[in-house]
Amino acid sequence: MPDYGRARERMVDIQIARRGVRDPRVLEALRQVPREEFVDPGFEEFAYDDGPLPIGANQTISQPYMVALMIEVAELKPSDRVLEVGAGSGYAAAVMSRIAARVYAIERHAALVDAAKRRLEKLGYTNVELRVGDGTRGWPEAAPFDAILVAAGGPEVPPTLKEELAIGGRLIIPVGLQQFHQTLRKVTRLSETEYEEEDLGGVAFVPLIGEQGWAEDGRRSASNHVPGRSRGRTLPDMIADAAEPLPELDDCAFGDLFDRYAGRRVVLLGEASHGTSEFYRARAAITLRLVEEHGFTVVAAEADWPDAATVDRYVRLRPALTRPEPPFQRFPTWMWRNAEFVAFANRLRLLNEQFDPKRRAGFYGLDLYNMSGSIAAVLEYLDKVDPEAAGVARQRYGCLTPWQKEPSTYGRAVLTAGYRKCEQAVIEQCRALLQKQLEYAQLDSDSFLDAAQNARLVAAAERYYRIMYYGGAESWNLRDTHMFETLENVLEARGPRTKAVVWAHNSHIGDARYTEMGTVRAELNVGQLCRERFGDEAALIGFGTHTGTVAAADDWDGDMKVKRVRASHRDSYERLCHDCGVPRFLLDPSGDEALRNGLVEPRLERFIGVIYLPETELQSHYAQASLPRQFDAFVWFDETQAVTALGPQHAKPGTPDTYPFAL
């Protein structure tokens, strides 16, 4: 049974107070009202996430932070009479009822009003009155109001609502000529004829439908139309104008548009899912272009180091290691064992054949999950260069033996057992290996880098699996910090002028400070750390799609399925890109101030990992982000297909023993 009380406190402390809402009456009201009572059945567990949730009639309950912000700027007092336009589930009215004397709420959907009345009666909130109607026309018989809050965006401030304000009354309303993109305005009535307006920043609300708002078909209502005034260009129009169409993926010119990033030290290429063919193929084309024409020699990926090292030996024409099993056997196997990645590895190997060994581009894993593979790699290396040190390492790693095959159970074990022995042992082993750096590196610098990084990985993985059972941001931050430090280690090992391409999910390469990761959950990521370390020498490029298919599982360690990707949400960045009508494009908003300003305010963005749950997509896979701050550029494919996963049945006759997957 979820602890809703604890979740409510966490919501107020992290999502609301930490983001600047300070009014103690607002914070206390949010702590009192059970938000789980105001969402549809089955969505209670998501009630305290900072995002909108479906409530029926194609409407959503507003995110908690926006409810809190609007109530705070309305400056509610215990004696106030308040009008809410767009009551929805009744949640905001319930919160306001804990502060104000009386709340009147209007909603145009009768079914929502009936449901809201039942919820409020159940909770005993008797100072709220609801009715069905056109909110743009107000509630004249109950006027004047000390505060009016409108939970939908109109093209202008409805004159009727201004007139229903008391002297000194405050009207809070989103206003904008583009639906789903507005600025939040505060209108204060100073006298019978004077009003003061304040702009509170960009927001994204559903349209305000009514006589003095938008019509049902999306046009401005006739009674609210100002002759000679145009709605102007929409955001999809602006995206279409700025979009640079991309050729077919098989066209050798596909990577040419990305030459503009050739002078960067690090180019980070994202993906909106771990199972989409077009994302792999596009990253391959861009990477090969940067390697061949612009001297990039590092390809670093969201892959486990020991597994990637096998591929690295293949693409750089180095001798293969004798490992007990082929790489990438851990879930999700299809993330790297797919036809698209194999094609890239083969092309990179062919390209490297043209270069001398020091110029060849390597493939490096940044991730830390394969602890057993890293332990094996360290021991294999030490057996060759220092057998005595190998014996000491076996003793140090011995305490991890029970968990090597299933390290996720290690975190559970150390909650009740003393883990300091393992923690200290793996740290000592990492230090011992690094202290002999000069001696070992003289034998084979590449092999030493591999062993040293594996030792670092074991130390990081031990801590990661230990803390993951406590939850929170610490485990995520440890993992991404490890990935960033691994990238730094590779760049240092390859030389001061080395340039790298990074392959990882959008959630890792988009700057976390401009997503819910950073603003709500206090998480950082590789993209943020690269910007802080490399500044303008880092280019963060996100990828997205509207619909198609994807390779994903229903749950962790589940079987891969090819799933249909639902059409993007109407309030998302993806829907804006779809509506622009260009099937494939590169969007670089840095040179278009109007477009950047139009896109900068946070809206929904889709994130699909190795698990995809279409039935709860809004709650499971969307989060608020500011796309032009999160990324430097965005690559768009309107319709995409799942990767082609590979198994032993895909092996071709005559495949060499050095083939990276040993199929």
Catalytic residue positions? Answer: 62
- Taking a C-beta distance cutoff of 8 angstroms, is the pair 60, 206 a contact? yes
Look at strands 244-245 and 195-203 and give their pairing.
unpaired
Q: Give dist(CA 474, CA 463) in Å, integer.
A: 10
Helix (H) or strand (E) holding 176: strand 165-178
Asked whether the beta carbons of 261 and 496 are under 8 A apart, the reply is no
Question: What are the Cα distances from residue 336, in Å, to 9, 280, 328, 378, 383?
Answer: 41, 10, 7, 23, 29
Task: Say how far apart CA 622 and CA 113 lie, in whole Å.
Answer: 27
In terms of phi and psi (left: phi > 0; alpha: psi -120 to 50; beta: otherwise), the region of 24 is: alpha
How many CB atoms within 10 Å of residue 213? 24
Give the dihedral sign, CA 583/585/588/591: negative
Helix 305-315 with 445-467: angle, nearest 10 deg: 160
Burial 567-579 (b: 16+ CB within 10 A, else e): ebbebbbbbbbbb
Distance between first and last Cα of the chain: 46
Cα(206)–Cα(178) distance, integer angstroms = 11
Do 341 and 361 meet the contact criterion of CB atoms below 8 Å apart? no
Q: With CA atoms as reference, report the closest residue to 90 among 70, 66, 106.
A: 106
* Cβ atoms 354, 317 nearer than 8 A: no
55 vs 68: CA distance, rounded Å: 19
Amino acid at 390: A
CB 528 within 8 A of CB 513: yes
Q: Residue 317 in contact with residue 659, Cβ under 8 Å?
A: no
Nearest CA to 23 out of 125, 129, 98 is that of 98
Is 271 in contact with 506 (CB distance < 8 Å)?
A: yes
Residue 165's SS3 state is strand
Say whether 596 sits in a helix, a strand or coil.
helix
What is the C-alpha separation between 513 and 585, in angstroms, rounded? 26
User: Which candidate, 517, 538, 549, 527, places its Cα nearest to that of 639?
Assistant: 549
Q: Which token pair is 272?
A: 């909106």
Burial degree of 642 (CB within 10 A; 0-12, 13-18, 19+): buried
Tokens coding 238: 């602006």
What radius of gyration do the chain's Cα atoms show?
A: 28
Q: Which two three-digit tokens encode residue 447?
A: 């092999």
